[in-house]
Amino acid sequence: MSKIIIAIDGYSSCGKSTTAKGVAAQLGYAYIDTGAMYRAVSLYFHHHFVTLTNPKEVHKALSEVHISFQYNRMLNKSETYLNGLCVEDEIRKMYISDRVSEVSAIVEVRRAMVAQQQRMGRHRGLVMDGRDIGTMVFADAELKIFMTADPIIRAQRRQQELLEKGELIDLETVLANLQKRDHIDTTRSEGPLRQADDAVLLDNSHMTVEEQVELVTNLADQRISQVVRNGR
Ligand code: DC
């Protein structure tokens, strides 16, 4: 059967990964969370006191960073590994969210991550979420979704997620972090967040996860049929 690439981009905390995971499960595709890769780099840079404005330090540190994903059968989810160590929980913490946009705006960091992401998708059959997937990483993706949601709703969802992991952060702080990240992500020079011309806009402020997964899966089925009929 013909396999496609589904690129899901959008603002921070608007449910991209939840939707992407659901769609990947429905189609039997792999799922790659590219935000986790930038978070893992940020974690490494933080622990190794890398000066973000020093290209030599950044270059050396990047050569020491090896990111992979491993499926955890017990938890039924894929987890992020940094140099062989599971960092899935650590990279979701607030101190990493506070730093990740600055780290991911560094051109050399982006080039290294984009190259790895392109290798991961060379056999297609993949759902990838991030900020520049439909515009840079896979500009030829057969299906592109651009997700957005009301900022207050996004902040509430993110606050709940952090709470479930034991971090109690007030709504204003969470909202400020989202707005700061949105600003850096949309205004950086390399791979800024923007809707690709051929992306489908999905505002999920008032949608359930099931509705989002169904909608994207239906679009994917249509695209797969088109590819089968007409080629890519
Ligand atoms: O999806 P997330 O919130 O976990 O992503 C964390 C940060 O990583 C986000 O603020 C911007 C950056 N990012 C990026 O620049 N490009 C991507 N493809 C994915 C994430």
Of 178, 218, 200, 162, the C-alpha closest to 8 is: 200
Model pLDDT, residue 169: 95
Q: Residue 228 Cα, ligand 1 centroid: separation in angstroms?
A: 33
Say yes or no to pLDDT of 1 above 70: no
Summarize the confidence of residues 175-196 as an average pLDDT: 94
Show the domains of the chain with their CATH numbers.
5-229 (3.40.50.300)
Closest protein CA for atom 16 of ligand 1: 131
pLDDT average, residue stretch 161-186: 94
For residues 181-210, give the mean pLDDT: 95
**Cα distances (angstroms) measured from residue 209 to each of 15, 215, 216:** 8, 10, 11
Check residue 232 and give its pLDDT.
72
Per the structure block, which two tokens stand in for 77? 């989810």
Give burial (CB, 10 Å; 0-12/13-18/19+) of 187: exposed
Q: Under 8 Å CB-to-CB from 182, ≥6 apart: which residues?
A: 11, 12, 193
Instruction: Give the per-residue pLDDT at 2.
Output: 87
**192 CA distance to ligand 1 centroid (A)?**
10
Residue 231 has pLDDT above 90, yes or no: no
pLDDT band at 76 (very low <50, low <70, confident <90, very high): confident
Residues with CB under 6 A from ligand 1: 12, 34-35, 38-39, 100-101, 104, 130-132, 181, 185
Which atom of ligand 1 is nearest the CA belonging to 34?
19
- The pLDDT tens digits for 120-154 are 999 999 999 999 999 999 999 999 999 999 999 99
Percent of the chain residues topping a pLDDT of 70: 100
Q: Can you tell me the mean pLDDT for 41-47?
A: 98
Atom of ligand 1 nearest to the CA of 100: 7
pTM: 0.94
* Atom nearest to 101 CA in ligand 1: 10
Q: Which atom of ligand 1 approaches the CA of 132 most closely?
A: 18
Q: Which of 13, 16, 32, 34 to mutate to test the pocket of ligand 1 (most atoms within 8 A of CB)?
A: 34
